[in-house]
Amino acid sequence: MNKKEILEIRRQFTPENCSITRICGCYVDYEKEKKAQMSKTFLTLPEEEAFKYFDIFRHTLSGTFGKHLLSVDFPLESELSGEAYQLLCQLRTSRLEDEELVHSFFDKVIENYVFAENYYITLIHAVYDVPGKSSDGSQMFDASDNVYEHILCSICPVKLTKPGLTYNAETDLIEERIRDWFVDAPVGGFLFPAFSDRLCDMHHALYYTKKPEELQPVFIQNVLGGNVPLSAMDQKTSFQALVSDTLGDACHYEAIRNIHESIQEMLEESKDAPEPLELSRSDVKKLLAQEGASEESLLTFEEEFDQMAGESRTLLASNIAGTKHFQVETSVVSVKVPADRSDLISVREIDGRNCLVIPVEDYLEVNGMPAPVFKNSLE
């Protein structure tokens, strides 16, 4: 799925566009005990309650693609006979009207999702009548191309409100506020099947995590039945290891900066593309070859890349090269500049010592205080 497709599905979570047929919920305490369950036709919900659910669903399809939103692919054996995948398909086909299937799903989530607090699981079924598009790209709502039938799961923490004082209009007094439990924004969830090329994609799901460093691999494997994608941090550390191993002694400051600048240029060229920039094995190999990697080390790189990501896998450029900052650190100093200004930092030998050199034009600030730089101060 790309940004436009994700936004298209998010736009359905409004009163005007709502295509949700049914909603099921399960409230679970910190001891993994079910406290309450519900199953309703979504359109029977009170308006204000429906609005709160719309917020939850939109949150489950928010964040940065490749960090908070990840594509999960299903291995062939999972699609053919995997228990988890078959349950997802049955839930979708049954439109969540089979209570036994829904209960089985909730049990599977509770068993495999790691969370130390109370939480609320919501599961919805929706049928989106996908409008066609004219030759100029505008939507034709009276000419549907296909129907996208899907389920969306959201997992939300349930927290106790903070203690405090409140005004009681009946007694006209300031009193202690009654604490109650409220459903917070989701921390995890998924969309099944994916919506790719504006079509139903049964080979993928879209997975959401509020914390990119906490992917919940057991949940992905056992509840979705899919392959666990590389997290943003895993992609970055794996890329760094590949660069270091392949360049060897040639992995110096200038080489690393050159690779960073090359990726930044590629990101700039593709900034208007609907799909996020992905780097294939051949793309990364080319970058390493430009920095002097030997033929022998490049052959080893190909093997390592395949072991890390698989031949058909790619790395998101935004994950392996920061889009906001270029940072250089020593044991005592950290220097950070905008990602597109890595040229501001250089390494030079001065008086026999390797030094970081940063040009200072006309402005300098020390501990928050302006400290103008004069020529004689540098002599």
Q: Is the pLDDT confidence value at 142 over 70?
A: no
Q: Is the pLDDT confidence value at 378 over 70?
A: no
Q: Is the pLDDT confidence value at 76 over 70?
A: yes
Q: Which residues pair with 148 in a beta bridge?
A: 128
Asked if 216 and 260 touch (Cβ cutoff 8 Å), the reply is no
Please calculate the CA angle 211-213-217 and round it to the nearest 5 degrees.
100
* Nearest CA among 183, 352, 351, 355 for reference residue 253: 355
- List, for residues 333-356, the tens digit of each pLDDT value: 888 888 888 888 888 889 998 888
Q: Is the pLDDT confidence value at 157 over 70?
A: yes
Give the pLDDT mean for 262-290. 88
pTM across the whole model: 0.83
Q: What is the pLDDT at residue 63?
A: 92
pLDDT band with cut points at 50, 70 and 90 for residue 134 = low
Q: What is the pLDDT at residue 24?
A: 98
Give the pLDDT mean for 89-99. 97
> Which position has the higher pLDDT, 302 or 201?
201
Q: b/e string for 110-132 if b means 16 or more Cβ within 10 A? A: bebbebeebbbbbbbbbebebbe
Give the pLDDT mean for 167-187. 89
Q: Is 5 exposed, middle or buried (0-12, 13-18, 19+ CB in 10 A)?
A: buried
Task: Give percent of the chain with pLDDT exceeding 90.
Answer: 50
Domains in the chain: boundaries: 3-229, 233-320, 325-377
pLDDT band with cut points at 50, 70 and 90 for residue 324 = confident
Q: What is the pLDDT at residue 106?
A: 97
- List, for residues 180-197, the tens digit of each pLDDT value: 889 999 999 999 999 999
Q: Where are the alpha helices (DSSP H) in 113-252?
A: 217-219, 232-247
Hey, which of 35-39, 162-166, 326-330 has the most confident mean pLDDT? 35-39
Q: What is the pLDDT at residue 377?
A: 47
Give the pLDDT mean for 70-98. 94
> Distance of CA 55 to CAs 15, 16, 61, 183, 194, Å?
12, 14, 10, 11, 20
pLDDT band with cut points at 50, 70 and 90 for residue 379 = very low
